Structure 1
Amino acid sequence: MNAETAEMVKSGFLAAVPFARTLGLSFVDLDLGRAEMRLPDDPDHHNHIGGAHAGAMFTLAESASGAIIVGTFGDTMDRALPLPTKAEIHFLKMATGDLTAEAVLGRPREEVIAELDGGRRPEFPIDVEIRTADGTVTGKMTIIWTLKPNRK
């Protein structure tokens, strides 16, 4: 993905997802099949023990996966609706300070597009790691997405 396209995806994503803006999420990096987003530390987003609230961590991870969808499959949105179908998150350690989520597409784009072109509804995982500023992994999430073909 070239820099101009990446900037369009980033600004378009944040314009279209008000909750991401509410939490102050920002992009660290974006490329085809990979996205990294940041959640700044904010006491208003803490839980009862002073770490990042589970909902804020979930939103960070889900947003990074959604950025992959826009950046990698944006050219299919005229013929398919991207939808998350299920998600599983594991909270591994208390998450404090600024957090980043790195999301990675779990299947090749070409494979997913071939299924869509064949009239099927592809499903594919996006794996996400949530880390503190020092690189400690505090959570892992897998989100299953689908591209639901538009029916005429």
Structure 2
Amino acid sequence: MSFDVGAFLLETVPFAKTLGIVYDKVDASVAVCRVPDRPEFRNHVAGPHAGVLFTLAESASGAVTLAAFGDQLSRATPLPTTSTIRFRKVAKGEVTAEARLLADPAEVVAQLDGGQRPEFDVAVEVRNAEGVVVTELTVTWTLRPNR
């Protein structure tokens, strides 16, 4: 896309701005973003609350989706349909999410061209400051044709 996806998401998704999500890299195949460690976002074990981890990961998945399919917004709306999250380790400190599009964008657009409502997965790994994967998320997205 020809615009700053991270800035667009911070403008249009107030909760991402509230969490202070920083979009470090966004393109049509990968998005990397992070959330700073803030005491008010911690849980009972002094790490980022599960809601923070989920929102960070889902935001990264949305960024890569928007980068890959933003040119389709005039005819379809990207929406998450399902997600699966796995908490592998207790997170501490700043966390970074890396989302990878698992579909071929041309195939997804071809399905949309064919009158279908395509679905595709985005895999996300959330890492702590040491680079250890603490959370994994898979988000299934769809491009819902605009009516």
Contact 1:34 1:105 in 2 (8 A): yes
The residue that corresponds to 1:135 in the other structure is 131
Q: Does 2:18 align with 1:22?
A: yes
Instruction: With the length of structure 2 as denominator, give the TM-score of the two structures.
Output: 0.97
Tell me how far apart the structure 2 counterparts of residues 66 and 107 of structure 1 sit (CA, whole Å): 14
SS in 1 for 2:68: helix
Contact 2:28 2:65 in 1 (8 A): no
| Pairing 1:2-151 to 2, within 5 Å after superposition | 5=2, 8-151=4-147
| 2:132 aligned partner, one-letter code | T
In structure 1, list runs of 5 or more residues that go unmatched.
Answer: none
Tell me how far apart the structure 1 counterparts of residues 5 and 21 of structure 2 sit (CA, whole Å): 14
Instruction: With the length of structure 1 as denominator, give the TM-score of the two structures.
Output: 0.93
Contact 1:130 1:137 in 2 (8 A): yes
Tell me how far apart the structure 2 counterparts of residues 85 and 113 of structure 1 sit (CA, whole Å): 18
SS in 1 for 2:48: coil
Tell me how far apart the structure 2 counterparts of residues 82 and 102 of structure 1 sit (CA, whole Å): 19
Contact 1:13 1:70 in 2 (8 A): no
SS in 2 for 1:57: helix
In structure 2, list runs of 5 or more residues that go unmatched.
Answer: none
Contact 1:81 1:150 in 2 (8 A): yes
Deviations 1:93-127 (CA, angstroms, capped at 9, x unpaired): 00001100000001010110000011100000000
Percent identical residues: 51
RMSD of aligned Cα (Å): 1.0
SS in 1 for 2:85: strand
Contact 2:57 2:97 in 1 (8 A): yes
| 1:10 aligned partner, one-letter code | G
Structure 1: 4+ residue segments shifted above 4 A: none
